[in-house]
Amino acid sequence: MSEHRAPAPDPRDFLSVDADLDETERDVRDAVRAFAARELAPHVADWFEAGTLPDPRGLAEAFGALGVLGMHLEGYGCGGSNAVAYGVACRELEAVDSGLRSFVSVQGSLAMAAIHKYGSEEQKQEWLPPMAAGRAIGCFGLTEPDSGSDPGSMRSRARRDGSDWVLDGTKMWITNGSVADVAVVWAATDEGIRGFAVPADTPGFTANVVHRKLSLRASITSELVLEGVRLPADAVLPGSRGLGSPLSCLNEARYGIVWGAAGAARACYEAALEYAGTREQFGRPLAGFQLTQRKLADMVVDVNHAGLTALRIGRLKDRGLAHHNHVSFGKFANVAAAQRVAAASRSVHGANGITLEYPVMRHMVNLETVATYEGTEEIHALSIGQAVTGVSAFR
């Protein structure tokens, strides 16, 4: 077919990225998109304004019924989907709000993935089925007040006392920490860094909500305090050894961010397209001004680049070929693209753009968190720099 007879690009999927999804992946997209439109989008501005999730347990159960909690993990009540289907689910959730995608990522790719990868059979049987169903909530405690980008410097300690373990330390910025039933906590031991499944009702474990956030407000963020938390010998995740264990979980969650950022970018672009088509100044829609069209052209390029990057890394992952540097590339590129799109969309919206009546500024400030957690923009730049030069510039 000559290019003159090819169908014109769809402004909402300019490069037809979704045409390369298979039927199952499209079904996941449609189911998550419909759920998000029905259950999340009508409420998210209120949740964001309130600075919390009013019913995290109900939300967890709804996500469980939808099948997105640990959906890419095998067995134990998990969905066993491929990486692309999981990514598409992240994209559709983050098109509504980064905080809601974070809920699903932390549960599935951090807490559940850590237990799935490194836990004993008993730990998997105990925690994974209720977590997949959303009847139990998990969190992942790696970051500390004085240990962020350099988690190897953590101060949390786990020491042996007879056959027990005793944990002391503070974890900071922990998503879902104060509503979790189980915290996967990383602590230094005489054998290196190890992970522990800490039931939230263990004496000595407390979680305090972080207030006054200006980003990711439709998400619960907490400080975890562990003071002489005594755990039985079997609380350690037996397969966890060294910093590589939490880092490999972070790589799973980052993969979801690669897709999620593409969703946030798409939502901001679509909002700008709609607004520019209806808002009139100087007697014509904003969409008719050259400067607006330049913004929309830049946005549609960023959105489609992000979509292609996510799909490419997803396909590599499904073939077992996604190196962690590929995921760094995706996080670095797609979050930056989403930030550019959100900022441009906000400007197209004029004064309306600063309100919660429109999604753009909410996305814009959420993306500050997305650029920070799971490895900051700078840390991923250094990873990519190391991958292409062979020289580490981390310290």
Ligand X SMILES: Cc1cc2nc3c(=O)[nH]c(=O)nc-3n(C[C@H](O)[C@H](O)[C@H](O)COP(=O)(O)OP(=O)(O)OC[C@H]3O[C@@H](n4cnc5c(N)ncnc54)[C@H](O)[C@@H]3O)c2cc1C
Which residue pairs, CB below 8 angstroms and at least 24 apart, start in 358-361?
Answer: 358/271, 358/275, 359/45, 359/267, 359/268, 359/271, 360/268, 360/271, 360/272
Query: CA-CA distance, 205 to 231, in Å (whole number)?
Result: 11
Cβ atoms of 127 and 136 closer than 8 Å = yes
Q: Taking the complex as a whole, how short is the minimal distance between the CB of residue 210 and ligand X, in angstroms?
A: 8
92 given a catalytic annotation:
no
Least distance (Å) between residue 381 CB and ligand X: 8
- Between CA 358 and CA 222 the distance in angstroms is 28
Site for ligand X in 228-247 (CB under 6 A): none
Residue 376 makes contact with ligand X by CB under 6 A? yes
Give the nearest distance from C-beta 368 to ligand X in angstroms.
8
> Catalytic residue among 94, 144, 223, 374, which?
374
- Residue among 96, 174, 262, 271 that touches ligand X (CB under 6 A): 174
Give 198-258 as a 3 state SS string. Answer: EECCCCCEEEEECCCCCCCCCCCEEEEEEEEEEECHHHECCCCCCCHHHHHHHHHHHHHHH
Residue closest to ligand X, measured at CB: 148
Map the footprint of ligand X across residues 111-140, applying CB under 6 A: 140
Q: Which is nearer to ligand X, 82 or 372 (CB)?
A: 372
19-27, 32-40, 141-149, 283-291 -> range binding ligand X (CB under 6 A): 141-149
Q: Would you give the binding string for ligand X spanning residues 89-108, x where CB under 6 A is met? A: -----------------x--
From residue 162, alpha-carbon distances to 158, 230, 233, 344 in Å are: 13, 11, 9, 59
Nearer to ligand X, 90 or 287 (CB): 90
Residue count, binding to ligand X (CB under 6 A):
21
Beta bridge partners of 189: 192
**Which two structure tokens, joined as six digits, stand for 4?**
């003159």
CA 311 to chain CA centroid, nearest Å: 16
222 binds ligand X (CB under 6 A): no
221 is a site residue for ligand X (CB under 6 A):
yes
Q: How far is the CB of 124 from ligand X (least distance, A)?
A: 21
Residues in contact with ligand X by the rule CB under 6 A: 106, 140-143, 148-149, 173-175, 216, 221, 369, 372-374, 376, 378-379, 382, 394
Catalytically annotated residues: 374
